[in-house]
Amino acid sequence: MIQAPRGTRDVLPSQSSRWQHIESVMREECRLAGFHEIRTPVFEHTELFLRGVGETTDIVQKEMYTFEDKGGRSITLQPEGTAGAVRLFLEHGLFNEPLPLKMYYLYCPVFRYEAPQAGRFREHHQFGVEAFGAPSPSMDAEIIALGAGIVRRLGLKDLELHVNSIGCPQCRPSYQEALREFLRPRLPRLCGSCNERFSRNPLRILDCKVPSCQEELKGAPVTLDYLCEDCSGHFEALKIALQKLGVPFVIDTGLVRGLDYYTKTVFEMIAALPDGGHFTTFGGGRYDGLVELIGGPPTAGIGFGLGMERILSVMEGHGLFEGERSEAPGVFIASMGQEAALAALTLAQSLRESCLSADMDHAGRSLKAQFKYAGRLGSPYVVVIGENELQSGKYTLRDMQSKEEVALSPAELIETLKKGALR
């Protein structure tokens, strides 16, 4: 048996309505906030991610699916969504349009070569929003409120926004120096990765998951104390805007996010797990230097990403899909004999044209087996077409719950069902 590759997952027919529910909430909230959907290819030139994600990141160094195609080009399956969005923004000259340009992507496949046993997928799907050409902190607030509105509407509990500012190319060097000074005597007690990060990007050390490294970081200088006037003004304005919007937040000086390109605002929305723990629903930040880094004009940018599989499984854990709309056909048409089967086929078509979902037997079942099958599908109504019904031109409509039956012409039947049927 050929199986799906490790770290990938199928969505079964019985599961897709849950995905559609999540997606419809995301689409609707984005539409209300003036964000438009984009779709980009699953693979890009490797160079895009080397520049756009950063050569020193774990993603680029360890996790990318990179290969040479038959034309000798280095191709990479996208490990995140932002770089592709920036490439699209540049390639189509969208920076010449009235800015800001607000976009989102939904069910965007991202690929990372990670250990699947850690509950991580090698292919997972992201929802992400990006806004280009909006340097004002009001955009930070808008985009955070958009994400907060989505996870709130999805029913996630105990939401807590963590925010921080990690400064800009003007003020970060002095912070990095202070951090290095603090870390230098502690280097022998930091892990190997942190020792590598020390010279290249000491901020990444704050992100280290090794407990002993976290222990050593106690009392480290924080970025907020080193912000330039522009950055601290931006952060103050964001805090005021979030208060006005009623988005509760905590300032998390340890929050730096794993990517090189963030400037000023970084944020994560934390929510409760069913077992009492917590997880990050969505996270992102401002990336005012990224468009330029990828070869475009200096353009402010900000965005966030959300792992869709994770949200779905947490929502399932919280029981948030109970009482969901049934996907069962509204009417099942049972028939006996060839002629009746043809009548069933045309009735099903008429019902569908009237926007009523209908299904019938296609496996040559007996009438008894068709009723059993209708019961398994969960159809609330069954129409029976047999010899008597064909002769009288009136079909029997049966309410599967009350067992009530009426004989109706096809036209009456459609009218009755459209009005909400027998109940």
Residues between 9 and 48 with contacts to Zn ion, criterion CB under 5 A: none
Q: Candidates 185-193, 215-223, 239-247, 378-386 — which segment interacts with Zn ion by CB under 5 A?
A: 185-193
Q: Is residue 208 within the footprint of Zn ion (CB under 5 A)? A: yes
Nearest 5°: phi and psi at 267? Answer: -155, 155
- Taking residues 298 to 337 in sequence order and writing x for each that binds Zn ion by CB under 5 A, - otherwise, the string is ----------------------------------------
Q: Burial of 406 by CB count in 10 Å (0-12 exposed, 13-18 middle, 19+ buried)?
A: middle
Q: Is residue 170 within the footprint of Zn ion (CB under 5 A)? A: yes
Minimum CB–partner distance for residue 80 and Zn ion (Å): 23
* Distance between CA atoms of residues 100 and 90, nearest Å: 14
Q: List the one residue from 231, 255, 414, 417 that touches Zn ion (CB under 5 A).
A: 231
Exposure string (b/e) for 65-79, b if CB count within 10 Å is 16 or more?
A: ebeeeeeeeeebbbb
Q: Is residue 168 within the footprint of Zn ion (CB under 5 A)? A: yes
Minimum CB–partner distance for residue 185 and Zn ion (Å): 15
E-strand stretches of 112-154: 123-132
Total of chain residues touching Zn ion, rule CB under 5 A: 11
The residue (of 211 and 420) whose beta carbon lies closer to Zn ion is 211
Q: Is residue 228 within the footprint of Zn ion (CB under 5 A)? A: yes
- Secondary structure of 247-259 in the HEC alphabet? CCEEECCCCCCCC
- 3-state SS, residue 334: strand
Nearest 5°: phi and psi at 161? Answer: -85, 130
Minimum CB–partner distance for residue 7 and Zn ion (Å): 25
Contact 182, 313 (CB under 8 A): no
Minimum CB–partner distance for residue 96 and Zn ion (Å): 28
Q: Is residue 210 within the footprint of Zn ion (CB under 5 A)? A: yes
- Taking residues 71 to 110 in sequence order and writing x for each that binds Zn ion by CB under 5 A, - otherwise, the string is ----------------------------------------
Q: Candidates 19-27, 140-148, 171-179, 389-397 — which segment interacts with Zn ion by CB under 5 A?
A: 171-179
Nearest 5°: phi and psi at 223? Answer: -55, -35
* Distance between CA atoms of residues 110 and 79, nearest Å: 5
Q: List the one residue from 85, 134, 194, 306 that touches Zn ion (CB under 5 A).
A: 194
Q: In what order do the strands lie in the sheet with 405-408?
A: 358-360, 331-335, 381-385, 395-399, 405-408
Q: Nearest to residue 314, comparing CAs of 202, 155, 105, 112?
A: 155
Q: Candidates 59-67, 224-232, 246-254, 322-330 — which segment interacts with Zn ion by CB under 5 A?
A: 224-232
The residue (of 75 and 168) whose beta carbon lies closer to Zn ion is 168
Question: How is residue 256 written in tokens?
Answer: 């730096």
Q: Is residue 213 within the footprint of Zn ion (CB under 5 A)? A: yes
* Distance between CA atoms of residues 153 and 311, nearest Å: 12
Q: Candidates 138-146, 166-174, 387-395, 401-409 — which segment interacts with Zn ion by CB under 5 A?
A: 166-174
Q: Is residue 171 within the footprint of Zn ion (CB under 5 A)? A: yes
Which residues form the interface with Zn ion (CB under 5 A)? Answer: 167-168, 170-171, 191, 194, 208, 210, 213, 228, 231
